[in-house]
């Protein structure tokens, strides 16, 4: 016992020497009494706020404890992150409101539904959604949440009582559980007792991929609109359930900065956002300014950040009648760092986050009626706008690919947008729409602007700078056919019970089975078939058999000479069809119009073993998108090989190696290039993305001709320099290309045009032989988004895809991202074609 106390004393002494002791009072407002029955963070997590980086499990444990102890707080678990961490939500309001919570919510929603409420607005609470650290390594937000939740649970007096009577606070303590955990581990394991502010200290140089992203290395603050990730799904569900008036998003930015709060750059607000939204944002901002003045913290607004892409947390609410607010705090990364503004400590960063969380709810309390009226007005205007819309509905679908259309409808469902079945098969503007493969979205409905923001194309802009992408037109991302129509005649019943798709085998066959390649999940099916050790072939030409036409890329599985007998094969293929939601047709003859099933125009397809190069220098987002695609969509194993040890790996068993876009140099590149060169020559397929074009070209893996701009700055002042350079960035826009459907890279595409997502300025000259340009940008390629005049000229007629034979193997290049943010379903098949059919290109 004695030893323990001595040890403890010694421990505290050491801490005392190591840094000025941190006290919870440092964060909390002065002259307030606190309820002794509410445990302080340190009582539960074993360290003071800001002393260590809180791990996600400790954070959750504290929040659960608060919910147990405080009648102001209820807690719910809304799902799990990829790594199985709970996605918790705290609802914080007065005990009185808690007893009436469902009624308060229903009334709040009624305000947006029809504008009529039983209670006058003056008596309604305002709804504030506060979320923290969506980028896991911007941890001051989540750590501030400890002190903030404590304050809300424990503060006493008329002020807090009044506040909680007038507010329902939805607190999302960690937007990104897996990222926060990863970062806490990094910062804590590198922390010294003697805190070291030297910028060169390892603590401030996280290893790849860092804690910013989620498990599959996605930037979750881009997923509020596409909702592809489990954490976003939980969040969007809560958002639509409550339609919060204010939503805050607490981030960190570079260490040598101060503090930012919105509004952002006034000229960079999305045109669908009402002007009043920005005015209210600025008024709320005056509360942050006042609070930060009081503690002497420097800050800025109306610079650098914008409110354009609705997939960001602070912009998404703006198209939904709410007000989104971005906070950016200079990051201490670890615990303490030297900066241009002096020593920046982690507690200081936390205190700014805490202070603005508090100024947010003070603003909400004081501006309550004004902001609720704004929301009421927003939806009133929307109803008028929606009822007057000339476009009555949008029809979208893919007559050959039910799954892709289904997944787009799934996003609508998550965004609480109503959609209908197609009443009957129909042809609109020369595209055919098939019932069950198509959906009808009426424009006259509540979330009218949200639909617009998802479906519209936009090519003119008031500014040429964008913080993120400038286009995200969903039907183009999915490469589905779509049409805006001026009546509702094609609309069948509204789909309220959105059922998963099914798959089947038409009949047992003693001869062969066929399936076309168009359906989204066909690569999953093919992989399953090949993994079973079955033989399959791909058709290089279309044919007609038993009155059914089969397109390029049709997969044929003969019955004879397989590892499964005829019965077992049928049973197995039924499982495959159901799992991949495809139709497999059993046929009784090999004699067709066109190529017969025994023709040499059917090429064998082999089981693929794929490696993905990852590690420092590679863009984690791009790598993560590929990993996620293989792992979660196609159930395919993919071996992640770090560049650090790539050189010592025996590559001979791999059929394909993918190198994503890189953000820096590939280190050790001569040796690596030589190794890859030998491996390709022996028969491998090497697939590179974006600026790997330069690397392939430099190391003679591929011969490429680049188009470069010859832009010179004329009459551009020094002050205008960064805007001038920024305007040449292609941050993310959508371009149209023509396809040669007979080329294996285009198998599974039914149209002769495709929409590609591009966020690079790599431009490649087409080959002189047209058959070597299976995908080529049209002469008017811009479909949606921003590109500079100069770059638009460069892209016209250039090619986003190249394949070249090298020895027995192939080198494949995509300049564009075919897997963007998990929602660019429309071009995923290009990568799969390169994997499965690379050999026959």
Binding site for Zn ion (CB under 5 A): 135, 138, 251
251 or 810: CB nearest Zn ion: 251
Which residue's CB atom is positioned nearest to Zn ion?
251
Smallest gap from Cβ 123 to Zn ion, in A, equals 37
* Helix H or strand E segment including 569: helix 566-580
Choice between 139 and 672, CB closer to Zn ion: 139
Are the CB atoms for 651 and 611 separated by under 8 Å? yes
> What's the start-to-end Cα distance of the chain, in Å?
75
Taking the least distance from each CB to Zn ion, the nearer of 250 and 628 is 250
**How many whole angstroms separate alpha carbon 48 and alpha carbon 52?**
7
**What single DSSP character describes residue 307?**
B
Query: In the complex with Zn ion, which residue's Cβ is closer, 135 or 449?
Result: 135
Contacts of residue 275, defined as CB under 8 A and 6 or more positions apart, other chains included, come to none
| CA 403 – CA 500 distance, rounded (Å) | 9
Six token digits for residue 25: 């009072």
Which CB, 139 or 525, lies closer to Zn ion?
139
> How many of the other CB atoms lie within 10 Å of CB of 691?
16
Nearest distance in Å: CB 817, Zn ion: 21
Q: Which is nearer to Zn ion, 251 or 802 (CB)?
A: 251
Instruction: Give the C-alpha separation, 489 to 485, whole Å.
Output: 9
CB 734 → Zn ion: shortest distance, Å?
25
In whole angstroms, give the CA distance from residue 472 to residue 783: 11
Q: State the DSSP code for 655.
A: S
Q: Cβ 268 to Zn ion, closest distance in Å?
A: 17
Give the DSSP H/E element, type plus range, for residue 826.
none
Q: For residue 532, which of 557, 507, 510 has the smallest C-alpha distance?
A: 557
CA distances 652 to 649, 655, 680, 688, Å, are 9, 8, 10, 18
- Supply the minimum distance, in Å, between the C-beta of residue 145 and Zn ion: 15
List Cβ neighbours of 256 (8 Å cut-off, separation of 6 or more): 330, 339, 340, 341
Q: Which is nearer to Zn ion, 163 or 184 (CB)?
A: 184
* Residue among 212 and 661 whose Cβ is closer to Zn ion: 212
By beta-carbon proximity to Zn ion, the closer residue of 72 and 135 is 135
Backbone phi and psi for residue 70, each to the nearest 5 degrees, phi listed first: -110, 130
Question: In the complex with Zn ion, which residue's Cβ is closer, 218 or 735?
Answer: 218
Distance, in Å, from the CA atom of 151 to the CA atom of 179, rounded to the nearest integer, reads: 25
Radius of gyration of the chain (CA): 29
Token pair for 101: 């919570």
Shortest separation between residue 138's beta carbon and Zn ion, angstroms? 5
In the complex with Zn ion, which residue's Cβ is closer, 249 or 516? 249
Q: Least distance (Å) from Zn ion to the CB of residue 101?
A: 31
Tokens of 264: 């952002």
Closer to Zn ion by Cβ: residue 141 or 322: 141
Query: Beta strand 656-659 with 685-689: parallel, antiparallel or unpaired?
Result: parallel
Residue 283 beta carbon to Zn ion: minimum distance, rounded to whole angstroms = 24
The token pair that represents 713 in the structure block: 């700055």
CB 720 → Zn ion: shortest distance, Å? 27
Q: Is the dihedral of CA 63, 68, 74, 75 positive or negative?
A: positive
Residue closer to Zn ion by CB (options 214, 783) is 214
Whichever of 219 and 398 has its CB closer to Zn ion, that residue is: 219
SS3 of 326-340:
EEEEECCCCCEEEEC
Helix, strand or coil for residue 341? coil
To Zn ion, the closest distance from the beta carbon of 219 in angstroms equals: 8
C-alpha closest to that of 538 among 744, 746, 750, 399 = 744
We find the least distance from the C-beta atom of residue 730 to Zn ion, in angstroms, to be: 22
Shortest reach from residue 135's CB to Zn ion, in Å:
4
Q: d(Cα 672, Cα 648) in Å, to the nearest integer?
A: 10
Smallest separation (angstroms) from Zn ion to the CB of 179 = 10
Q: How far apart are CA 741 and CA 738, in angstroms?
A: 9
For residue 260, give the 3-state DSSP assignment.
strand
- Smallest separation (angstroms) from Zn ion to the CB of 326: 9
Answer whether 259's CB lies under 8 Å from 297's CB: yes
Q: Which tokens is 16 given?
A: 């005392």
Q: What angle do CA 652, 656, 661 make, to 5 degrees?
A: 125
């Amino acid at each position: 016992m004695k030893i323990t106390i001595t040890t403890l004393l010694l421990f505290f002494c050491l801490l005392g020497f190591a840094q000025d002791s941190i006290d919870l009072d440092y964060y909390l407002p002065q002259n307030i009494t606190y309820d002794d029955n509410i445990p302080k963070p340190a009582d539960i997590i074993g360290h003071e706020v800001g002393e260590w980086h809180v791990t996600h499990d400790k954070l959750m444990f504290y929040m659960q404890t608060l919910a147990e102890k405080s009648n102001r707080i209820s807690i719910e678990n809304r799902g799990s992150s990829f790594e199985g961490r709970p996605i918790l939500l705290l609802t914080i309001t007065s005990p009185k409101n808690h007893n009436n919570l469902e009624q308060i919510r229903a009334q709040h929603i009624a305000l947006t539904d029809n504008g009529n409420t039983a209670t006058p607005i003056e008596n309604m609470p305002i709804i504030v959604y506060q979320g923290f650290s969506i980028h896991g390594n911007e941890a001051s937000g989540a750590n501030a949440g400890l002190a903030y939740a404590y304050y809300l649970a424990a503060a006493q007096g008329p002020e807090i009582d009044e506040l909680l009577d007038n507010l329902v606070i939805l607190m999302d303590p960690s937007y990104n559980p897996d990222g926060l955990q990863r970062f806490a581990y990094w910062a804590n394991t590198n922390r010294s007792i003697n805190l070291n502010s030297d910028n060169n200290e390892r603590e401030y140089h996280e290893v790849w991929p860092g804690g910013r992203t989620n498990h599959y290395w996605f930037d979750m603050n881009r997923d509020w609109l596409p909702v592809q990730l489990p954490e976003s799904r939980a969040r969007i569900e809560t958002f639509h359930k409550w339609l919060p008036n204010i939503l805050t998003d607490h981030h960190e930015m570079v260490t040598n900065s101060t503090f930012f709060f919105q509004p952002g750059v006034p000229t960079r607000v999305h045109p669908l956002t009402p002007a009043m939204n920005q005015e209210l944002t600025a008024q709320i901002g005056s509360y942050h300014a006042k609070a930060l003045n009081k503690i002497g913290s420097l800050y800025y607004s109306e610079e650098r950040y914008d409110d354009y892409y609705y997939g960001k947390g602070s912009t998404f609410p703006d198209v939904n009648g709410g007000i989104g607010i971005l906070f950016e705090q200079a990051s201490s990364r670890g615990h303490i760092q030297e900066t241009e503004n002096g020593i920046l400590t982690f507690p200081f960063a936390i205190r700014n986050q805490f202070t603005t969380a508090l100024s947010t709810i003070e603003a909400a309390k004081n501006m309550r009626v004004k902001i609720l009226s704004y929301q009421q007005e927003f939806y009133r205007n929307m109803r008028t706008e929606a009822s007057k819309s000339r476009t009555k509905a949008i029809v979208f679908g893919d007559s050959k690919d039910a799954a892709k259309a289904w997944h787009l409808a799934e996003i609508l469902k998550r965004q609480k947008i109503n959609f209908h079945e197609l009443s009957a098969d129909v042809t609109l503007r020369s595209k055919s729409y098939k019932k069950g493969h198509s959906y009808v979205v009426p424009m006259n409905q509540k979330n009218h602007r949200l639909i617009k923001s998802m479906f519209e194309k936009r090519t003119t802009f008031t500014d040429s700078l964008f913080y993120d992408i400038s286009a995200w037109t969903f039907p183009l991302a999915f490469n589905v056919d779509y049409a805006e129509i001026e009546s509702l005649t094609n609309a069948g019943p509204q789909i309220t019970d959105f059922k998963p798709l099914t798959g089947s085998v038409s009949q047992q066959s003693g001869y062969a089975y066929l399936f076309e390649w168009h359906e989204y999940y066909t690569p999953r099916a093919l992989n399953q078939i090949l993994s079973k050790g079955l033989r399959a072939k791909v058709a290089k030409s279309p044919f007609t058999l038993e009155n059914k036409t089969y397109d390029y890329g049709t997969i044929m599985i003969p019955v004879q000479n397989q590892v499964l007998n005829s019965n077992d094969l049928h049973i197995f293929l039924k499982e495959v069809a159901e799992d991949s939601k495809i139709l497999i047709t059993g046929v009784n003859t090999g004699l067709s119009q066109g190529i017969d099933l025994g023709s040499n125009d059917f090429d064998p397809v082999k089981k693929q073993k794929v490696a993905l190069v990852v590690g420092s220098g590679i863009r984690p987002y791009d790598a993560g998108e590929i990993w996620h695609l293989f792992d979660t969509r196609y159930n395919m194993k993919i071996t992640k090989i770090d560049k650090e040890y790539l050189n010592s790996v025996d590559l001979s068993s791999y059929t394909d190696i993918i190198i994503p876009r890189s953000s820096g140099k590939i280190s050790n590149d001569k040796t690596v290039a030589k190794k890859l060169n030998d491996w390709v020559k022996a028969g491998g397929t090497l697939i590179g993305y974006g600026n790997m074009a330069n690397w392939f070209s430099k190391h003679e893996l591929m011969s490429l001709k680049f188009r470069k701009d010859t832009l010179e700055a004329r009459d551009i002042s020094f002050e205008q320099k960064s805007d001038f350079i920024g305007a040449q960035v292609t941050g993310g826009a959508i371009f149209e290309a023509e396809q040669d459907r007979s080329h294996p890279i285009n198998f599974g595409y039914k149209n002769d045009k495709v929409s590609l997502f591009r966020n690079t300025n790599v431009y490649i000259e087409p080959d002189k032989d047209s058959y070597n340009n299976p995908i080529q940008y049209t002469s008017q390629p811009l479909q949606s988004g921003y590109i500079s005049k100069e770059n638009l000229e460069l892209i016209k007629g250039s090619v986003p895809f190249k394949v070249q034979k090298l020895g027995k193997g192939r080198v494949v290049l995509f300049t564009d991202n075919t897997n963007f943010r998990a929602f660019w379903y429309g071009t995923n098949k290009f990568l799969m074609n390169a994997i499965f059919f690379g050999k026959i290109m």
